[in-house]
Amino acid sequence: MKEPQSSLFNKQDSSNPVDHNPAKFNRKPITAATAQQKVADYVRLIDTETISLYTAGGRFLAEDVQAPHPYPHFRRSGMDGYAVIASDIAQASSDHMIWLQVIDNIPCGQTPSVPLIQGTAARIMTGAMVPDEADTVVMLEMTESRQAEGKEWVGLKRSVEQGRNITPIGLEIQAGDMLLTKGAQIGAGEISVLATFGVHEVEVYRRPQVAIFSTGTELLSVEQPIEPGKIRNSNSYMLAEQVKAAGGEPHVLGAIMDDLELARTTMLQALSSYDIVISSGGVSVGDYDVMGDLVRSDEVEMLFNKISMRPGSVTTGAVKDGKLLFALSGNPGACFVGCELLVRPTIRQMMNSKHDYLPEWTATLGHDYHKINSFTRYVRGSIAVEEGKIVAYPASLDESSVMVTIKDSDCLIVIPPTSEVLPAGTTVSVLRLSRS
Ligand SMILES: Nc1nc2c(c(=O)[nH]1)N[C@H]1C(S)=C(S)[C@@H](COP(=O)(O)OP(=O)(O)OC[C@H]3O[C@@H](n4cnc5c(N)ncnc54)[C@H](O)[C@@H]3O)O[C@H]1N2
Ligand code: MOO
Ligand SMILES: [Mg+2]
């Protein structure tokens, strides 16, 4: 995360003429799904870069990866023991021990040095290449060994089923198999696949660079002591963390006073320098809600400025020169939800991810939910598994303005518009929040 940029943010004049513009009250709510679609329509894939495999964790692949060879690419022993020809030991029993002459010793990384013939065996270690003529590996524990006539012998008291302990060529992957496709997020498993096939440099999508600024004359920087009427700018840092978790690279531009011109300059500069811009605060109908005014101006094309959801009903989206601006509510709960529902998918869609929206589960409501609303609520909650069922408990405080319960939540419980109390036991959808 980059340090806040301070140059723009020192303006002292926060006076704003009282605005009686009715346009700001005249907002048409759209559903969260419609808002997501409107945003998605403007998403463009970001350009790519080639990076070392060692730094690829968490990034999104920008190339399809096909297997250049099968895996494993040689017949591999699954045990430390002896490679044998199964028919040689078919008659072995406790009364009839069969002895084979050990003619080779094959550690990992070496190839067999002589062909096996009937009546012989090769000592072999786990992961080593099985001689072509062998069709079975017998575990060391099932054998006895002795030296006789200057030769080494292995004895077996049991037959072993043909094919045992040999991993065939291509068991996991055949040559030409599609291993990973564009948009896959690279985790430990993907890195293992890429390393196995020698992909030491990976083409990935560039991380979207996301500018974050907060508006609010009341905002102090995190370092400053509290003052009456003022609060610290928590949203910028919360958003930065959300952006990072989504796969973007946050740039915290700090906080500006509630001043339309300052907001305009900051927004335009951010839009020209970064891939996505997020602002927090100033999107409602208040006298100093400058982001709301700005988005309605000609500077940008407004996509929406009301969503039929709580928190975050005033969440606003706009576009300029193909770049998306998310003007999120200043209320921390609403700011958090706006980012999870709209910004996170955008960041991930820019990197071709198929896992763009928060994963949706079905759960049972853990206790009664009393709030009544004509809008869909995205209630912070926590999930428990009880008697094999997923139960979702709403947080004790889930007001838009409440900050503290964000940290206790691992899901957003979707409460549809309702005029009645929703009783415990009701089936609800929950959106999983990733807590990495
Ligand atoms: N008359 C009406 N008043 C309000 C309405 C409405 O419809 N009519 N909507 C309410 C709803 S709903 C919300 S949500 C908020 C949205 O407010 P804004 O987006 O305009 O945000 P601000 O006014 O700037 O601040 C609201 C609140 O959040 C605190 N804040 C702001 N920035 C930060 C930050 N960076 N870190 C932490 N906290 C922040 C700010 O101090 C305020 O307390 O409007 C309702 N009002
Ligand atoms: O827009 Mo507000 O966050 O609904 O409460
Ligand atoms: Mg406001």
Q: Both 153 and 80 in a single domain?
A: yes
Confidence of residue 3 (pLDDT cuts 50, 70, 90): very low
Mutate to test the pocket of ligand 2, among 30, 315, 329 (most ligand atoms within 8 A of CB): 329
- Find the ligand nearest to 313 CA: 2
**Residue 392 Cα, ligand 2 centroid: separation in angstroms?**
22
Neighbours of ion ligand 3 (CB under 5 A): 284, 286, 289
Q: Is 1 within a domain?
A: no
Work out the average pLDDT over 297-319.
97
**Is 314 a pocket residue for ligand 2 (Cβ < 6 Å)?**
yes
Q: Is 144 within a domain?
A: yes
Cα gap 390→432, rounded to integer Å: 12
Q: Is 300 within a domain?
A: yes
Nearest Cα to 39, choosing from 396, 386, 345, 361? Answer: 345
**Is 312 a pocket residue for ligand 2 (Cβ < 6 Å)?**
yes
Q: Both 230 and 296 in a single domain?
A: yes
pLDDT at residue 6 in the model:
43
**Residue 227 Cα, ligand 3 centroid: separation in angstroms?**
20
Q: Domain count of the chain? A: 4
**Is 330 a pocket residue for ligand 2 (Cβ < 6 Å)?**
no
Q: Is 3 within a domain?
A: no
Q: Is 2 within a domain?
A: no
Residue after which a domain boundary falls, among 332, 350, 368: 350
Output DSSP code: residue 116. -
Kindly state the percentage of the chain with pLDDT values over 90.
92
The CATH number given to whatever domain includes residue 192 is 3.90.105.10
pLDDT at residue 434 in the model:
86
For atom 43 of ligand 1, the residue with the nearest CA is: 331
Q: Is 88 within a domain?
A: yes
pLDDT at residue 436 in the model:
56
pLDDT tens-place string over residues 147-190: 999 999 999 999 999 999 999 999 999 999 999 999 999 999 99
Given a cut of 50, is residue 10 above it in pLDDT?
A: no
The CATH number given to whatever domain includes residue 120 is 2.170.190.11
Q: Both 266 and 250 in a single domain?
A: yes
Q: Both 336 and 378 in a single domain?
A: no
Q: Both 331 and 227 in a single domain?
A: yes
pTM of the predicted protein model: 0.92
- Find the ligand nearest to 336 CA: 2
The CATH number given to whatever domain includes residue 288 is 3.40.980.10
Q: Both 30 and 95 in a single domain?
A: no
pLDDT at residue 1 in the model:
45
For atom 23 of ligand 1, the residue with the nearest CA is: 282
Scanning the structure block, which residue is given the tokens 């980059």? 2
Q: Both 148 and 290 in a single domain?
A: no
CA-atom Rg of the chain in angstroms: 32
Q: Both 320 and 293 in a single domain?
A: yes
Confidence of residue 4 (pLDDT cuts 50, 70, 90): very low
Q: Look up the domain containing 366 and give its range.
A: 360-432
**Is 40 a pocket residue for ligand 1 (Cβ < 6 Å)?**
no
Let me know if 279 is exposed, middle or buried by CB neighbors in 10 A (0-12, 13-18, 19+): buried
Given a cut of 50, is residue 15 above it in pLDDT?
A: no
Q: Both 320 and 253 in a single domain?
A: yes
pLDDT tens-place string over residues 85-95: 999 999 999 99
Q: Is 194 within a domain?
A: yes
Output DSSP code: residue 208. P
pLDDT at residue 14 in the model:
43
**Is 317 a pocket residue for ligand 1 (Cβ < 6 Å)?**
no
**Omega before residue 72 within 30° of 0, cis:** yes
Contact 304, 38 (CB under 8 A): yes
Q: Both 156 and 211 in a single domain?
A: no
Confidence of residue 341 (pLDDT cuts 50, 70, 90): very high
SS (H, E, C) 117-156: CCCEEEEECCCCECCCCCCEEEEHHHEEEEEECCEEEEEE
Q: Both 238 and 311 in a single domain?
A: yes
Q: Is 25 within a domain?
A: yes
Nearest Cα to 209, choosing from 264, 238, 247, 266? Answer: 247
Q: Both 239 and 191 in a single domain?
A: no
Cα gap 54→212, rounded to integer Å: 29
The CATH number given to whatever domain includes residue 412 is 2.40.340.10
